[in-house]
Amino acid sequence: MKFTEGGVTAAKGFEAAGAEAQIKYKNRMDMALVYSKVPCVSAGTFTSNVVKAAPVLWDKNIVDTKKTAQAVVVNSGIANACTGKQGMDICKKEAECAGRLLGIPADAVLVASTGVIGMQIPEDRICAGIEKLAAAKTDTLKAGNDAARAIMTTDTVFKEVAVEIELSGKKVTLGGMCKGSGMIHPNMCTMLGFVTTDAAISKELLVKAVKKDVIDSFNMISVDGDTSTNDTLLVLANGMAKNPVITEENEDYKVFCEALHAVTTTLAKKMAGDGEGATALFETKVIHADTKQNARILAKSVICSSLTKAAIFGHDANWGRILCALGYSGVNFDPENVDLYFEAEGKKMAIFSKGVACDYSEEEASAILSCKEVTALVDMHMGEESATAWGCDLSYDYVKINADYRS
């Protein structure tokens, strides 16, 4: 497997576009299209929030009941959540408009929205935007890049990735893009993620691969502990790589799953590191836990701790907050057996061991915590299981951004 250029247009047969429709924002792209030249098998995971946006309900129905999908239309600025019948009607209008312009059935069009909850999407603008997208779509890397930019809200950078693998002698590509900066606490999979691949794989195995993958990728990130109404991960596979169709859990399936995980974890880390107001990516690795699930719970508890996140922002080695977060996670363990280290840029410092603080330099610890990517390594000494979670620091700017989000 190797990483390569691009995002959603890296795989054979996929086109994309970004366009300015002024759904809410002005003077910037705010709509995106992803389109496959041939029908795709699809898989998806969606928010666990009881309050689900209209696009989530629309997409879940298509992914669960239809054999194929062929396009995704995305808007930023307005979430189309808590919008009643009018919100569902807009989803239908989007799909019908895109279907007509692209020459595909309306029920082959997936839709996604992100932005302010409770506002209605203006029908005339969304349809005009779709017309621009359909006219502009192309398979260039720039087109994929434009799509990744168009779905941003408070994101400070666009997020995309692509990898190449070989399946039974055929080159296969997976590419993806995502957006998410605030209201990030997925539990499935405001995050939106889209992965395209030219792999030939059955719908059943694609669904299985995606549902298993998100447990240790998108579900292991958190920015602020708020689970969005719109969280969506969609994966489209069009089979144009011409590899033998993956219909069983063989070696090709294993390689495909590893590539999918490389794409999703890369996107997840990009999202966590670009949290609203963030200055650093904060990673927690839990090793030697007794069970995989307990390792996940412990790691997620640390990166979700507001006090710990604030300490990371202040470059303060306040390790007691990490021990506290481990302690209230719900996992039983002996604190006397826990070792804690801080890591960054090849440096590693022992902070806590055998129930007490280590003899470390506060200045050196602060220097480690000043890096752009910081890791807390927690050794539980209980077993052989491990897990990694990703978050970010908590800065003054997070409050500033969210105190005035609707304006």
Span 348-382, pLDDT tens digits = 999 999 999 999 999 999 999 999 999 999 999 99
pLDDT of residue 189: 39
Shared-domain flag, residues 164 and 231? yes
Q: Do 88 and 185 belong to one domain?
A: yes
Write a three-state SS string for the chain: CEEECCCCCCCCCEEEEEECCCCCCCCCCCEEEEEEEEEEEEEEEECCCCCCCHHHHHHHHHHHHCCCEEEEEEEEEECCCCCHHHHHHHHHHHHHHHHHHHCCCHHHEEEEEEEECCCCCCHHHHHHHHHHHHHHCECCHHHHHHHHHHCCCCCCCCEEEEEEEEECCEEEEEEEEEECCCCCCCCCCCCEEEEEECCCECHHHHHHHHHHHHHHCHHHECCCCCCCCCCEEEEEECCCCCCCCECCCCHHHHHHHHHHHHHHHHHHHHHHHCCCCCCCEEEEEEEEECCHHHHHHHHHHHHCCHHHHHHHHCCCCCHHHHHHHHHCCCCCCCHHHCEEEEEECCEEEEEEECCEECCCCHHHHHHHHCCCEEEEEEECCCCCEEEEEEEECCCHHHHHHHHCCCC
Q: Are residues 268 and 285 in the same domain?
A: no
Q: Are residues 8 and 121 in the same domain?
A: yes
Alpha-carbon distance 260 to 360, whole Å? 40
Catalytic residue among 68, 114, 154, 190: 190
Judge if 109 and 21 occupy the same domain.
yes
Same domain, 395 and 293: yes
Residues (pLDDT < 50) of the chain are 182-184, 188-189
Q: Which two tokens stand for residue 323?
A: 């021990």
Distance CA 385, CA 35 (A): 40
Whether residue 238 sits in one domain with residue 303:
no
Domain limits at 329?
281-403
The length of the chain in residues reads 407
Q: Are strands 232-237 and 31-46 parallel, antiparallel or unpaired?
A: antiparallel
Give pLDDT, residue 224: 52
For residues 109 and 230, membership in a common domain is answered with yes
Domain boundary among 273, 291, 323: 273
Whole-number pLDDT of residue 156: 80
In terms of Cβ atoms closer than 10 Å to its own Cβ (0-12, 13-18, 19+), residue 34 is buried
* Tally of domains in the chain: 2
The pLDDT value given to residue 230: 74
Residues 122 and 184 in one domain: yes
pLDDT tens digit sequence for 122-170: 999 999 999 999 999 999 999 999 999 999 887 888 999 999 999 999 9
Q: Are residues 265 and 293 in the same domain?
A: no
Amino acid at position 239, single letter: G
166 and 119 in one domain? yes
Q: 265 to each of 40, 140, 213, how far by Cα in Å?
A: 23, 24, 9
Nearest to 207 by CA among 385, 42, 97, 94: 42
Which CATH number covers residue 22? 3.60.70.12
Q: What pLDDT sits at residue 274? A: 77
190 is an active site residue: yes
The model carries a pTM of 0.89
184 lies in the same domain as 74:
yes
At 398 the pLDDT is: 76
Distances (CA, A) of 235 to 232, 348, 361, 386: 10, 37, 47, 27
Boundary (domain end) residue, out of 273, 305, 330: 273
Q: What is the CATH number of the domain that holds 360?
A: 3.10.20.340
Domain end position, chosen among 254, 273, 292: 273
Closest by CA position to 352, among listed 379, 370, 391, 328: 379
